[in-house]
A = this chain, B = another copy of it.
Amino acid sequence: MFVFTKNLFTTKFSSSLLNWRFLRTMADSLVDINERITSQGNLVRSLKSQGASKEDIDKEVAKLLQLKNLKLGGSEVSGKKKDTSFTLKTPKGTKDWCDKDVVLREHIFSTVTEIFKRHGGVTLDTPVFELKEILSGKYGEDSKLIYDLKDQGGELCSLRYDLTVPFARWLAMNPKVTSIKRFHIAKVYRRDQPAMTKGRMREFYQCDFDIAGNYDPMIPDSEALKVLVEALDALEVGNYTIKLNHRKILDGIFTVCGVPDDKIRTISSAVDKLDKLPWEDVRREMVVEKGLKEEVADKIKEYVLLKGDRSLLDKLEADSLLSSNSSAVAAFNDMRLLFDYLEAFGVLDRFSFDMSLARGLDYYTGIIYEAVTEASAPKIKSSAEKKKSADPEADRSNDDSIGVGSIAAGGRYDNLVGMFAAKKNAKIPCVGISLGLERIFSILRSKIPDEDIRANDVDVFVMAFGGGKEWTGFLKERMSVCKDLWANGIKAEFLYKVKPKPRQQFDAADKFDVPFAVILGQDEFAKGSVRIKQMGLKENSDEGQLVPREEMVSVLKKLLKYD
Interface residues of A (CB under 8 A from B): 16-17, 58, 61-62, 65, 72, 75-76, 78-80, 82-83, 86-92, 94-99, 102-103, 105-106, 117-131, 133-134, 136-138, 140-141, 143-144, 147-152, 154-155, 157, 159, 169-170, 172-174, 182, 187, 189, 191, 203, 213, 215-216, 219-220, 222-223, 226, 230, 262, 284, 288-289, 291, 340-341, 344-346, 419-420, 422, 455-458, 475-476, 479-480, 482-483, 486, 489-493, 496-498, 512
Contacts and interface: CB of A to CB of B under 8 A. Distances in A.
A493 B144 contact: no
A457 B121 CA distance: 8
A88 to B, nearest CB: 5
A368 to B, nearest CB: 20
B289 A62 contact: yes
A337 to B, nearest CB: 10
A280 B118 CA distance: 59
B119 A83 contact: no
Contacts of A131: 86-87, 89-91
A491 B117 contact: yes
A288 B141 contact: no
Contacts of A493: 119-120
A88 B489 contact: no
A148 B149 contact: yes
Contact of A137 (B83, B220, B284): B83
B137 A82 contact: yes
Say whether chain A's binding surface is mostly helix, strand, loop, or mixed. Answer: mixed
Contacts of A99: 122
Contacts of A90: 126-127, 130-131
B96 A124 contact: yes
Q: Which 3 A-B pairs have the closest CB atoms?
A: A79-B137, A79-B136, A215-B496
B120 A98 contact: no
A155 B92 contact: yes
Contacts of A456: 117, 120-122
B123 A219 contact: no
A419 B291 contact: no
A398 B396 CA distance: 80
A476 B344 contact: yes
A211 B524 CA distance: 31
Copy number in the complex reads 2
A240 B493 CA distance: 26
A96 B129 CA distance: 11
A204 to B, nearest CB: 10
Nearest to A91: B157
A367 B174 CA distance: 47
Contact of A127 (B96, B420, B455, B492): B96
A22 to B, nearest CB: 15
A30 to B, nearest CB: 14
A450 to B, nearest CB: 16
Contacts of A157: 91
Given A92-B155, A498-B216, A125 B97 contact: yes
A275 to B, nearest CB: 21
Contacts of A173: 88-89, 96
A428 B480 CA distance: 27
Contact of A148 (B152, B288, B345, B498): B152
A152 B191 contact: yes
A516 to B, nearest CB: 14
Given A141-B72, A152-B191, A289-B65, A98 B346 contact: no
Given A91-B131, A98-B170, A344-B480, A475 B219 contact: yes
Nearest to A147: B149
Nearest to A266: B69
Nearest to A291: B16
Given A172-B88, A491-B120, A288 B62 contact: yes
Contacts of A98: 122-125, 170, 174, 182
A469 to B, nearest CB: 19
Given A58-B284, A83-B136, 8 more contacts: A75-B143, A90-B126, A96-B170, A98-B123, A120-B457, A147-B149, A219-B496, A222-B479
Nearest to A455: B122
Nearest to A203: B127
A422 B140 CA distance: 44
Contacts of A137: 76, 79-80, 82-83
B491 A118 contact: yes
A31 to B, nearest CB: 16
26 contacts: A58-B288, A58-B289, A75-B143, A76-B143, A79-B136, A82-B133, A83-B419, A83-B420, A88-B169, A89-B173, A90-B127, A91-B129, A92-B155, A94-B129, A96-B125, A97-B123, A98-B123, A98-B124, A98-B182, A99-B122, A103-B122, A119-B493, A120-B493, A128-B128, A149-B150, A220-B496
